[in-house]
């Protein structure tokens, strides 16, 4: 029998193994439990809100990182321009343009995510109003049955005669 050695493979870092563990636990908790009951609208809204907030924070973090990189790149462009290295300055300027495009794209993504979150919140509010109106209409129907409007009209007519 041959002995297989895995020593030539790179070892996983603790951060990546944590991420893998987190992802596998997310999969287990969300998708793999087929017998779990479906979340209510309120729970789904809360989960959606949390996911959107996390995604928005991630995009904002990336925007901040890119803006810091932009400042460094601008400083480097100025430094190379002072030395008179025109070719390097042009390359750095192209990088700066690409970086600014990335920032603009991320900012539009952030705005879209916030819009989706707001839309989801509005839909939930509309749903709760509909549920309230449904309850009110049931209550009104019950009161109409109890009061019998035809009989009430006859009583009122007789009262007016006297």
pLDDT digits 0-9 by tens, 68-111: 999 999 999 999 999 999 999 999 999 999 999 999 999 999 99
| pLDDT value at residue 1 | 44
Six-digit token pair at 144?
A: 């109409």
Q: Residue 15's pLDDT band (boundaries 50, 70, 90)?
A: low
Tokens of 110: 């952030």
How far apart (Å, rounded) are the C-alpha atoms in residues 92 and 69? Answer: 12
The mean per-residue pLDDT over the stretch 3-27 comes to 53
- For the stretch 115-154, pLDDT in tens is 999 998 898 889 888 888 988 888 888 887 777 777 778 8
How many residues are there in the chain? Answer: 162
Helix extents (H) in the chain: 14-30, 41-83, 86-147, 149-161
Q: Residue 62 has what pLDDT? A: 96
Q: Is 99 exposed, middle or buried (0-12, 13-18, 19+ CB in 10 A)?
A: middle
């Amino acid at each position: 029998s041959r002995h297989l050695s895995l020593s030539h493979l790179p070892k996983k870092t603790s951060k990546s193994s944590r991420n893998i563990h987190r992802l596998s636990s997310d999969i287990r908790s969300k998708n793999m439990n087929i017998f779990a009951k479906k979340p209510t609208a309120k729970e789904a809204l809360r989960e959606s809100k949390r996911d959107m907030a996390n995604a928005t924070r991630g995009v904002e973090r990336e925007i901040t990182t890119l803006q810091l990189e932009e400042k460094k790149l601008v400083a480097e462009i100025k430094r190379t321009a002072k030395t008179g290295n025109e070719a390097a300055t042009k390359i750095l300027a192209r990088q700066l343009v690409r970086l600014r495009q990335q920032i603009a794209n991320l900012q539009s993504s952030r705005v879209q995510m916030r819009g989706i979150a707001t839309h989801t919140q509005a839909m939930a509010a509309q749903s709760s109003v509909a549920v309230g109106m449904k309850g009110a209409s049931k209550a009104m129907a019950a009161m109409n049955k109890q009061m019998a409007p035809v009989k009430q009209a006859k009583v009122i007519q007789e009262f007016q005669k006297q």
